[in-house]
Amino acid sequence: METSNQCPRCGVGRLRAWNELSDEEREVVQRLPASADYSLEVRQSTHRWCTRCWYEEGSGAMHNA
């Protein structure tokens, strides 16, 4: 399951859910360009980010385990 947390873009970073991000990292995420299809609330509950390259993974699965 570790490989599913690895960033597919940079291959080095780890994908992290909203609740795993620091306050500063959350600020960055809020400033990233996002698809108009997703509200911030949806992104917070279903997306994960790599804090190395800021890749954003969206999915229908919840990441609040």
pLDDT at 27: 96
Q: Where are the domains of the chain?
A: 2-58
pLDDT at 53: 96
Residue type, 19: N
Q: Which are the contacts of 16, defined by CB distance < 8 A and separation ≥ 6?
A: 5, 25, 48, 49, 50, 51
Confidence of residue 60 (pLDDT cuts 50, 70, 90): low
Q: E strands along 1-65, which residues?
A: 15-17, 47-50, 56-58
Q: What would the pLDDT profile of 32-51 be if each residue is shown by its tens digit?
A: 887 778 888 999 999 999 99
Mean pLDDT of 21-36: 91
pTM for this prediction = 0.80
